[in-house]
Amino acid sequence: MATLLEEFTNLTGALNQREIDYAICGGWAMTIHGVTRATVTLI
């Protein structure tokens, strides 16, 4: 079974190969840009 990172890499590779535009958002985008994402539970 592929890891989440492998699946992500396969998906973006396929999109790039077919020259399909896409946007990465959320936690993935933050990580790519070097921003630490911390989840904090608010009570």
Q: Which domain holds residue 19?
A: 1-43
Residue 41 burial class via C-beta count within 10 angstroms: exposed 0-12, middle 13-18, buried 19 and up = exposed
- pLDDT tens track for 4-17: 888 889 999 999 99
Q: Is 80 exceeded by the pLDDT of residue 43?
A: no
Query: How many other CB atoms are there within 10 angstroms of residue 27's CB atom?
Result: 11
- pLDDT band, very low/low/confident/very high, at 42 (cuts 50, 70, 90): low
Number of separate domains in the chain: 1
pTM flag (> 0.75): no
**Is 15 or 24 the better-scoring residue by pLDDT?**
15
